[in-house]
Amino acid sequence: MVAASLGAVVVVAASVFGAAPSSAAPVTDGLYGDPEAATRYWEPQTESDCGLLAARTVIGELTGAPPTEREIIDLATSTPSECTPGQPVYDESIDPSDGGTGHGTCTDDLVLLLRHYGVNADYTNDDEAGSGGQATGIDALAGYLGDGRQALVCVNAATIWDTDDDRTECDHMVTVAAIDFDNDIVYLGDSGADDTRGEQVSIDTFTTAWATGGHELVVTAPR
């Protein structure tokens, strides 16, 4: 897993789409979002808490005061899950190999954690969008980023990291800092390892990895 470093990046003005409907014309050029948001509040995870670290990054971007990893773990372990009633949002005491819920966080539960820090956000996926809910997919995502909103997505880690592990399910949470259609780059806030700071992947790699979870997306409210 070798991630390219960012260096100095000039953010090019992009068209503002708002909440792009699924019927919007495909986005083919321009830079949407802020590439520096992939690194500004980045830190590697020390547990299987990629979702919590992704939420931490978003909180940092919007408030300037991100919690520590320990603080957001403590919040998640004491917050009841809406995804798995009767369980906390995050349970660091259960080993996933034992068949329990274990480490990891439901994507939609991240909305609860963000709200605690004063960040309003919504969850969507292909099914929600297909039923008239909030749009998802690459064009909608570009629109949200162009509006200055923050985005967290569930992707397949093996696809992003180009490893030989299973590539059929979304199993890793990252933030999407920016999409550069002109240079075929998606900038990710990925806490997965020490070498994932400033991670950049091609648009095709990203869309393939994101599709494995039905384009799950947590997007913050307009500012």
Q: Report the CATH number that the domain containing residue 188 is assigned in CATH.
A: 3.90.70.10
In a domain, 62, yes or no: yes
In tens, the pLDDT along 51-88 reads: 999 999 999 999 999 999 999 999 999 999 999 999 99
Please state, as a whole number, how many other Cβ atoms lie within 10 Å of the Cβ of residue 148: 15
Q: 97: which residues sit within 8 A by CB, 6+ positions away?
A: none
Kindly state whether residue 13 falls inside one of the protein's structural domains: no
Structure letter (DSSP) for residue 147: T
Angle subtended by helix axes 203-211 and 138-146, to nearest 10? 110
Question: Domains in the chain: how many in total?
Answer: 1
DSSP code at position 12: P
CA distance 84 to 160: 27
Question: Is residue 125 situated within a structural domain?
Answer: yes
Q: Would you put residue 215 in left (φ > 0), alpha (ψ -120 to 50) or beta?
A: left
Residue 9, pLDDT score:
29
Average per-residue pLDDT in the chain? 88
pTM: 0.86
Greater pLDDT, 110 or 93? 110
